Amino acid sequence: MRSTVAEINISALHNNIHVLRSKAPNSALMAMVKANAYGHGMVDCSREIENDVDFFGVAVMYEGVTLRLAKITKPIVVMMPPDIYDAEKFCECDLQMVACSLDLLRDFNQEAIKQNVILKAHLYIDTGMRRDGIEPHEAVGFMDACKEFTNISIIGVCTHFATADDVNKAFAQEQLEKFNGAVQALHNAGYTFQYIHAANSGAVFHHPDAHFNMIRPGLSLYGIAPANTINTGLQPVLSLKTRINALRRIQPGESVSYGRRFIAAQATTIATIPIGYGDGYSRLLTGKGMCLLHGKRFQIVGTICMDECMIDVGNEPVDLGDDVVLIGTQGNATISVNEIADTIGTIPYDITTLITARVPRVLVGKT
């Protein structure tokens, strides 16, 4: 196995499910495992938590099929509108779809009839994200039109928040009011749903009135709290680790890596580690990245390469094979996903999902 690994702490993952359930004790939990479980390893994480969650949420059909091939049996909702050519696999693999196109539903219904199955769906209402879904005022008419689809059962109704973790709650509240209005209009027209869901991670913590009877936590499941949230009890699941694979002493005026972006001001030791932007450690961290070695923080110097990067360890006595942490804790020092995201002006989601498949995910903390 490579010395560069992403350790996935299963104990922390279970802790986070407990925290999330405590926030919404009367709601089912759909674990969002799209994008390779936000970089944490979709199949392994799903297998570990299947008995503790009610649904799995993915973005595209391929992810749902992958979970079925891995023998995951819990309900799987594909939360992005499917492609017209996905109908066969949706029916074969018992995947649930979001409903926001009558033409698409008509095609999927024909395939469901052909395969003699009932395809489950969730009515998707656009309350302000302006990405997917139908307009709130169209909900009743849409459901009326769906009566012709004999092999599609719309068991849920949902929406998605654009600003659930903002300090200013005005827009999220506006979205919630639109959603509640649409659900009430549907109820008045005689339509009821087994599941009503809207709460992503931010809404789980900031908008308890949006929990309904199912929540859809994503990044918080993996121990990264929504913005403007403190003391959540969440525990980070992922640590990114590697080991020193080369050492060299350089002199004043010598440079490191492509473009000579780092030139030594004094004699120093440069340690090379086998991780780079080909592993998902962003090149944008050039001149900014930090790592932990011997429980201390050191600067990553020079341009980050595809497969390697370099650390200025000064006069620290280091050896080949010494452990280096890029995300996680070593001794009393920690580098968090949030810190890295802030360093390059992005969001935590971007940091973990960038970690590529060639970095092995190693499960730790199993009981």
Q: What is the pLDDT of residue 366?
A: 87
Q: What is the mean pLDDT of residues 52-72?
A: 98
Residues 6+ apart with CB under 8 A from 338: 224, 348
Exactly one of 71, 114, 258, 366 is catalytic; name it. 258
Instruction: Work out the pLDDT band at 20, boundaries 50, 70, 90.
Output: very high
Fold of the domain spanning 238-335: Lyase, Ornithine Decarboxylase; Chain A, domain 1 (2.40.37)
- Asked, colleague to colleague, whether 10-221 and 238-335 share their fold, the answer is no
Question: Residue ranges of the alpha helices (H) in the chain?
Answer: 10-23, 34-38, 42-49, 61-69, 87-92, 102-115, 139-145, 170-188, 201-206, 337-344, 348-353
Instruction: Work out the pLDDT band at 242, boundaries 50, 70, 90.
Output: very high
Q: What is the pLDDT of residue 367?
A: 75
Instruction: Work out the pLDDT band at 154, boundaries 50, 70, 90.
Output: very high
Q: What is the pLDDT of residue 204?
A: 98
- Smallest CA-to-CA distance from 155 within 125, 213, 196, 194 is with 194
Domain 10-221 CATH (choose: 2.160.20.10, 3.40.50.1110, 3.20.20.10, 3.30.390.50): 3.20.20.10
Q: Is 71 a catalytic residue?
A: no
Instruction: Work out the pLDDT band at 89, boundaries 50, 70, 90.
Output: very high
Q: What is the pLDDT of residues 253-279, one digit of tens each?
A: 999 999 999 999 999 999 999 999 999
Three-state secondary structure call for residue 76: strand
Per the CB < 8 A criterion, the answer to whether 261 and 285 are in contact is no
Where does residue 299 rank: exposed (0-12), middle (13-18), buried (19+ CB within 10 A)? middle
- The DSSP symbol for 85 reads G
Exactly one of 34, 120, 178, 241 is catalytic; name it. 34
Three-state secondary structure call for residue 284: helix
Three-state secondary structure call for residue 58: strand
Q: What is the pLDDT of residues 180-224, one digit of tens each?
A: 999 999 999 999 999 999 999 999 999 999 999 999 999 999 999
Domain segments of the chain as ranges: 10-221, 238-335
Per the CB < 8 A criterion, the answer to whether 154 and 139 are in contact is no
Q: What gap in Å lies between CA 305 and CA 258, rounded to an integer?
A: 8
**What does the mean pLDDT of the chain come to?**
97
Q: Is 366 a catalytic residue?
A: no
Taking the CA atoms of 88, 90, 94 and 97 in sequence, report the sign of the dihedral they define.
Answer: negative
Neighbours of 62 (CB within 10 A): 12
Q: What is the mean pLDDT of residues 62-80?
A: 98
